[in-house]
Chains A and B, each alone.
Chain A
Amino acid sequence: QTVVTQEPSFSVSPGGTVTLTCGLSSGSVSTRYSPSWYQQTPGQPPRTLIYNTNTRSSGVPDRFSGSILGNKAALTITGAQADDESDYYCALFVGGGTLYVFGTGTKVTVL
């Protein structure tokens, strides 16, 4: 069974930079996994931030960026703002019997 791991939590100061990662239990994440990233606040459905590794979804501020760092997908928030305080999930297209797997999620606190 494929497991996609993310850091459980991060704390960042307002205006600071934080990089979240998304790793695979079996091997390296590359662009062929079409990494995507989602932001979720309590009581709301997720919001799409990034797709195809590094393409921002419509209306997403440019302080959010996606990349591959080493063997993981990464989401960087540059110049964090108070309303970036959310849960963040990555998703990978892994194919096979279960086509997509979500990461375990990262809770970001801005303080």
Chain B
Amino acid sequence: QVQLVQSGAEVKQPGASAKVSCKTSGYSFTSYYYHWVRQAPGQGLEWMGIFNPTDGSTSYAQRFQGRVAMTGDTSTSTVYMELSSLRSEDTAIYYCVAETPATKFFDNWGQGTLVTVSS
């Protein structure tokens, strides 16, 4: 079973970008798809997108199109999520989640990374 360890909390100014990392271990990096899910304070879960490390392909939720980029580094077994043009509404915990390919559910969750957007 894959383990996911995310980078630490960040504070960003409005208009800046945030890049969250998620280091995987315990299994082959390319054996999973990787999703990003976020949760604003006191709110529900929101799917942001998916990254396939085998071919680098991505699919993003429509509301994040043009503002999010999900990438991976096979040499370090790490996936990244970068969100640009940050606004206060982007303050949230961002979770990296692994999916066994084509099973269509969120199997292994990272511990989450709090990104705070504040001036």
A-B CB pair tally, cutoff 8 Å: 61
- Which residues of chain B have C-beta atoms less than 8 A from A76's C-beta? none
Closest CB of chain B to A23's CB: distance in Å? 15
Q: Does A109 contact B (CB under 8 A)?
A: no
- Which residues of chain B have C-beta atoms less than 8 A from A47's C-beta? 109
Q: Does B76 contact A (CB under 8 A)?
A: no
What string of 1s and 0s marks CB contacts (under 8 Å) between B50-70 and chain A?
A: 100000000101110100000
B47 near A101: Cβ-Cβ < 8 Å: yes
B61 near A98: Cβ-Cβ < 8 Å: yes
B47 near A38: Cβ-Cβ < 8 Å: no
B109 near A97: Cβ-Cβ < 8 Å: no
> Which of the four size classes fits the interface of chain A?
20 to 34
Closest CB of chain B to A73's CB: distance in Å? 12
Q: Does A10 contact B (CB under 8 A)?
A: no
Total contacting residues, chain B, CB less than 8 A: 22
Which listed segment binds A: B14-22, B81-89, B99-107? B99-107
A48 near B105: Cβ-Cβ < 8 Å: yes
Q: Does A34 contact B (CB under 8 A)?
A: yes
Given A38-B45, A98-B47, A102-B44, A45–B109 Cβ distance below 8 Å?
yes
Given A45-B111, A91-B106, A105–B95 Cβ distance below 8 Å?
no
- Which residues of chain A have C-beta atoms less than 8 A from B47's C-beta? 91, 98-102
Closest CB of chain B to A30's CB: distance in Å? 13
Given A89-B45, A97-B62, A101-B47, A46–B105 Cβ distance below 8 Å?
no
What string of 1s and 0s marks CB contacts (under 8 Å) between A52-67 and chain B?
A: 1000010000000000
Measured CB to CB, the nearest residue on chain A to B62 is A97
Interface residues of B (CB under 8 A from A): 35, 37, 44-47, 50, 59, 61-63, 65, 95, 103-107, 109-112
Interface residues of A (CB under 8 A from B): 34, 36, 38, 40, 45-48, 51-52, 57, 89, 91, 93, 97-105
Query: What 9 A-B pairs come out closest when comparing CB atoms?
Result: A51-B105, A34-B104, A36-B105, A45-B109, A102-B45, A100-B47, A97-B62, A98-B61, A105-B44
